[in-house]
Amino acid sequence: MNPGLENGQQFMIPVYDIKDFSPFYAKENQFVIVPFEQLNRPVPFVWPHKHSFYELLWIRKGSTRHFVDNQELELARDTIYFMSPGQTHHFEQYESVQGDSIMFSEEFFILNFTNKEAIRKLSFLHNSYRNPGIRLDEESKETLEPVLKLIYKEFARKDFSKMAISSLLYVFFEELQRKYFDQQTNNTAIGAHVMIFDKFRTLVEVHFRTEHQLSFYGSSLYITPHYLNEVVKKAAGKTASEFIRERIILEAKRMLVQSHIPVGQIADELGFQDFSYFSRHFKKHNALSPEQYRKVMLEKHHL
Its domain, for residue 262, covers: 191-300
Residue 243: which residues within 8 A CB-CB, separation 6 or more? 200, 201, 204, 232, 236
Intervals of the chain under pLDDT 50: 3-10, 129, 186-189
Domain boundary among 184, 215, 231: 184
Statement to judge: residues 213 and 287 lie in one domain: yes
pTM of the model: 0.68
Q: Residue 216 maps to which CATH number?
A: 1.10.10.60
Domain boundary among 159, 184, 209: 184
Domain boundary among 143, 164, 184: 184
Residue 9 forms part of a structural domain: no
pLDDT in tens, 35-62: 999 999 888 888 888 898 999 999 999 8
Statement to judge: residues 146 and 202 lie in one domain: no
**What local confidence, expressed as pLDDT, does residue 189 receive?**
47
**What local confidence, expressed as pLDDT, does residue 12 receive?**
66
**What local confidence, expressed as pLDDT, does residue 254 receive?**
83
If you write DSSP's letter for every residue of 255-282 in order, what string do you get?
A: HHHHB---HHHHHHHTT-S-HHHHHHHH
**What local confidence, expressed as pLDDT, does residue 165 receive?**
95
Residue 138 forms part of a structural domain: yes
**What local confidence, expressed as pLDDT, does residue 90 receive?**
82
pLDDT in tens, 60-119: 998 888 888 767 778 889 999 988 888 888 888 778 899 999 999 888 887 876 555 566
Q: Residue 36 maps to which CATH number?
A: 2.60.120.280
Statement to judge: residues 165 and 43 lie in one domain: yes
Statement to judge: residues 125 and 162 lie in one domain: yes
**What local confidence, expressed as pLDDT, does residue 124 receive?**
64
If you write DSSP's letter for every residue of 180-193 in order, what string do you get?
A: HHHHH---TTTHHH
Statement to judge: residues 203 and 179 lie in one domain: no
Q: Please choose, from the candidates 53, 148, 171, 164, the residue with its C-alpha nearest in 3D space to the C-alpha of residue 111.
A: 164
**What local confidence, expressed as pLDDT, does residue 107 receive?**
82
Statement to judge: residues 48 and 159 lie in one domain: yes
**What local confidence, expressed as pLDDT, does residue 219 receive?**
95
Statement to judge: residues 154 and 49 lie in one domain: yes
Statement to judge: residues 155 and 195 lie in one domain: no
Residue 242 forms part of a structural domain: yes
Statement to judge: residues 46 and 67 lie in one domain: yes
Statement to judge: residues 173 and 195 lie in one domain: no
Residue 285 forms part of a structural domain: yes
Residue 109: exposure state from Cβ atoms within 10 A (0-12, 13-18, ≥19): buried
DSSP E strands in the chain: the ranges are 15-16, 31-35, 50-51, 54-61, 64-68, 71-75, 79-83, 89-92, 98-104, 133-135
Residue 1 forms part of a structural domain: no
The tally of domains found in the chain comes to 2
**What local confidence, expressed as pLDDT, does residue 9 receive?**
47
Statement to judge: residues 95 and 160 lie in one domain: yes
Q: Which H or E run includes 142?
A: helix 138-156
Statement to judge: residues 70 and 199 lie in one domain: no
